[in-house]
Structures are given as structure tokens and as C-alpha cells.
Structure 1
Amino acid sequence: MTEKPVSQRIREWLVLGLNNGNANRMPVLLLGIITLGVYVFIQIADEMAEGEIRNLDETLFLMMRVPGDPSRSIGPEWLQETALEVTAVGGYPLIMLTLAAVSGFFIVTKRYGAALYVVLSVGSGALLSYTLKKFYARPRPDLVDHLDTVHTASFPSGHAMVTTVAYLTLAAIVISYLETRRARAYVITVAVLVAVMVGVSRVYLGVHWPSDVAAGWALGAAWASFSWLVVHMLQRHNGRPARWLDQSPQN
């Protein structure tokens, strides 16, 4: 008997899971995102380590520069200032402030599980990003002057990865209160859009190669989905209601 290709087996497994009711949809979807995200990250990392993605990186990188004068970014003068403000959304200071504010709210409302989920998901994602930067030690782009201050290695983009983890984690919390698919889709779309804008701003400012950002997006989505999956499986194991955020200790 001929064994089915891996891609076909994964596709059939996803379809089967999605057709088995609401109880199976979430873990199947999250597992799919985790698998795809890790796969994309590994492929980009391999290409980067072998130097085979350099030409594509340079081509995409220079598309955001004035033809014939790479020292100048494309677009009007105010666009550079806007890019700096957008990129700050994914900076550690703002992420930490947001994390502290959200966690503090959950603590004062006695939603300790939600506070722990946010801190562990985003904190571990930031630690993973820092560790990978140390491991790959890729130099920052050297084609143009950097328009933002940087202190770490280039791969993967910490802004892209941590922003993706943080905003998808927050989106997971918000949609647990929502009933309609349209509302949930809107929240997820906003989270993804913020991550995309921050990632693009890193390339525009000349501090990251496009592959750095793509790898950060992929691994960030995978890590946020992994954290979400762990919480979901703990819910099912403990037999708790789906809205785990509403659960607080009994007085």
C-alpha cells in the first residue's frame, strides 16, 4: 500500500478536525499555525545561514529606497517620522507598559489565570527572540544608515516577533468574550495588521532585512498559537467553561 504524502495527510487531518464540531476546531487550527510558522522560520533561517537569501533581501530592501540614491527612503518626509512612531509600538518599553497594564487589570479583577497567561506568553516569546538573536548573530543591514537606534543582532526581528506574540495574545483574550465570527475576525485582523505595520517599518528604517521580519512574524504567530493551545488544552483537561477569563477565585 502506497503511503500518502505528508502534505496530503496534514490536509486531510485539518479537514477532518474542522468537520468534527466546535470542540475540535481550535486545537486543530492552532496546531496548523504552529506547524506552518515553525516550518517557515526554519526554511528562512536555513536560507539565511547559507547566504542564499541575500540577493532577495537586498532587492526587497532597496525597493523602499529612492532609485539611484539608497540613502533616501521613498515617500514624503513625514513618512519617516511616521515609521519611527509605528515601530515604537513594537518596542520593548511600550510592550512592557501594555503588558503591565493588562496584567494589572486582570490581577485587581482576580483573573489570575489570564494575567499569568499574558505574562508567560509575551515574556517567553521575548526571551526566545533574544536567544535566537544571540544564536544566529546576523549583522544588521549595511547598505544604508540606520534611521533607528539598534543594540542587538538582526535575525529574527525582535519587533516583528514580540509584537506578533503580544497582539495575538491580547486578541485571544478579547475574542473569548465575543460571540460572532465577524467580531472575532475583526479583532484578529487588527492584531495582524499592527504586527505587519511594525515589521514593515523595521525594513523601511533600514534596521532589518526583510527575511528578519518574515522570520519574526512566522515564529511569533507560532509561539502565540502555542501559548493559546496550552491554555485551551488545560481548559479541556480541567473541564472549565470556555470563558476561562471570567473565572476568579471564590470568596
Structure 2
Amino acid sequence: MNSWSRNPAAGAPVPALMESDHPVPADHLSLPERGFAVDRRKALITAGFLWAAFAAMVFAVTHALTATVDSGLLRLFRSGPDLSLAGPRLVLETVRDVTALGGVFLRNLFALGAVVALLFFRLRREALILGATVVSGWIANSALKLLVGRERPMIVPHLTEAGGESFPSGHSFGAAVVYIGIAIAFAAMSRRQSVRYTIIGAALVLSAMVAASRVVLGVHFPSDVVAGWLGGAGWAFLAAALFYRPAESLVPPDR
């Protein structure tokens, strides 16, 4: 039975714990001291395939081999004499929500949040790699846009604001770099290969959805977003492999 004591402030009796009573111990979260090493060989092979496909898209676009497919797919999602988006209003709202995930503000906000989370997990090496991946990816995408200099499609009405060069799609490239880069960083925390593949696979799907949304909104040719996604995904895997050793030298395993 509990004994009773008085609250000095209010003078009301309150139960006091007997010596035999013990508080329930709090749950403990074990944080990894280090992430597990990125398989740089697999990352480089994956990046090689993706960049080879990106180079093929550059060749096709610069030699006007994608014009018919680009035009047909842009019209695929439209109907009526005004070429409005097919389907209910909810479709347009959903597509705009998806495309916002690839916008500069949101994707960089998620990247910053991921870096902070990795630092809380004491995974400074992975945080450094992710930060370098995002910054270098932005530089690479900007350079590629200037090299090709393709104008945006004017085949169907644009359903969102868009400016700058069209090839490759910045939303597609940036979303792939950020979300796949985040997935690679957090996947390294698990020893189970199935978990790592699931996390990275989810990021591939999400970034591909962002890419597709740009075509539905009419602001990019399909070849723009395919190339952007291939280039961004390739950059994420390439950076994970190339930045691993420098990051490891800056953040030794025993720290």
C-alpha cells in the first residue's frame, strides 16, 4: 500500500512511492557509431549504366530523333480543343503536389533535414557525402543545361510556371540526386540487403514520379525528364562512390 504525504504548497495529501516501488525504465534507442560502407563497385557500375543511357538521350535529342515521341506523349494527357488536362481537378492538384517535391525549395529542405538527421545519428561521414552530392549535382545540372540549351515545349498549355532551359529537366535531375542520395545515406545504416534495396527503390520511384509530373504539366518534353532522371540518378550513385574515400579521410572511423 502506498503511504501518503502532504503537498507543501497546497496542503493536499499526495501518494508517495514506497521504497519497493521502481519507475518503469525508459526505452533506449541504440544509434550506430558509424554507417556501413557503401559498396563502391556496385555504385560505380550502376552510375555507368545510367550515364551511358543519359549520353544516348543527349545524342537522340541533339539529332532530333525524339520529336515524334515527345509530341505524342505531351498530347497523351490532354483532351478537348483547348488541350486541357484530362481527368478531374484532383488530378491536376495531385500532379502539382508531386512536382513540388522536385522544386528547389522543398527538395533542398528535405536534403538539409536529412543531413541534420544523419548528424544526430552521429553519421558525419554520410552527412558529408550527402551534402557534397547535392551541391555538386546542382552544379552538374546547371552546366548540362547550358551545354544543350534546348527551349521548353510549346505544344500544349503549361499548367505551372517554368523558366530556363528545358534539357535536362532540373526537377527530374535534382529530385533524383536528392532523394536517391538520401536513400543511399540512410540505407547504409542497415545490414540487411533487402532493406537497403527497398529504401533505394522507393527513392527511385519517387524521383521518377516527379519527372513524369513535368510532362503531365506540359513544361518539359518526355526526353527532357528521362535524361534528367538518368543523369540525376547516375550522379547520386557516382557521388556515393567517389566521395566516400575523401569523406572517410575527413571523418575517421574512430571519431
Sort the TM-score into its range (normalised by shorter chain).
0.7 to 0.9
Partner of residue 189, structure 1: 201
Partner of residue 150, structure 2: 138
Letter in 1 for 2:184: A
Indicate yes or no: 2:236 matched with 1:198: no
Letter in 2 for 1:29: K
Indicate yes or no: 2:76 matched with 1:38: no
CA change 1:169–1:248 in 2 (3 A) is farther
Partner of residue 18, structure 1: none
Q: Please list the CA deviations of residues 32-80 of structure 1 after superposition, one character each: whole Å capped at 9, or x if unmatched.
A: 21211111111111111121211111112211222x5462112222101
Equivalent in 111, 115, 121 of residue 99 of structure 1: 111
Root-mean-square deviation (CA), in Å?
Answer: 2.5
After TM superposition, list the pairs within 5 Å mapping 1:6-45 onto structure 2: 26-45=39-58
Q: Please list the CA deviations of residues 158-216 of structure 1 after superposition, one character each: whole Å capped at 9, or x if unmatched.
A: 11111111111111111111122322222112101111110110000000100001101
Looking at structure 2, the residues matched to 52 and 118 of structure 1 have their Cα atoms a distance apart, in angstroms, of 36
CA change 1:27–1:100 in 2 (3 A) is closer
After TM superposition, list the pairs within 5 Å mapping 1:210-249 onto structure 2: 210-233=222-245, 247=253, 249=255
Which entry has the higher C-alpha Rg, 1 or 2? 2
* CA-CA distance at 1:109 after TM superposition: 5.6
Indicate yes or no: 2:91 matched with 1:79: yes
Structure 2 unmatched ranges of 5 or more: 1-37
Residues 129 and 244 of structure 2 are in contact (CA less than 8 Å); yes or no, is this contact kept in structure 1? no
Partner of residue 53, structure 1: 66
Structure 1 unmatched ranges of 5 or more: 1-24, 239-243
Residues 110 and 248 of structure 1 are in contact (CA less than 8 Å); yes or no, is this contact kept in structure 2? no
Looking at structure 2, the residues matched to 69 and 28 of structure 1 have their Cα atoms a distance apart, in angstroms, of 52
| The structure with more helix, counted as a fraction of residues | 1
Q: Please list the CA deviations of residues 76-126 of structure 1 after superposition, one character each: whole Å capped at 9, or x if unmatched.
A: 221011100110001110112122222233445654322221111011111
CA change 1:70–1:136 in 2 (3 A) is farther
Residues 62 and 70 of structure 1 are in contact (CA less than 8 Å); yes or no, is this contact kept in structure 2? no
Partner of residue 78, structure 2: 65
Looking at structure 1, the residues matched to 142 and 69 of structure 2 have their Cα atoms a distance apart, in angstroms, of 25
Taking structure 1 as the reference length, the TM-score comes to: 0.79
Seq. identity, %: 29
* CA-CA distance at 1:29 after TM superposition: 2.0
CA change 1:163–1:229 in 2 (3 A) is same
Letter in 1 for 2:241: L
Looking at structure 2, the residues matched to 199 and 70 of structure 1 have their Cα atoms a distance apart, in angstroms, of 24
Indicate yes or no: 2:166 matched with 1:154: yes
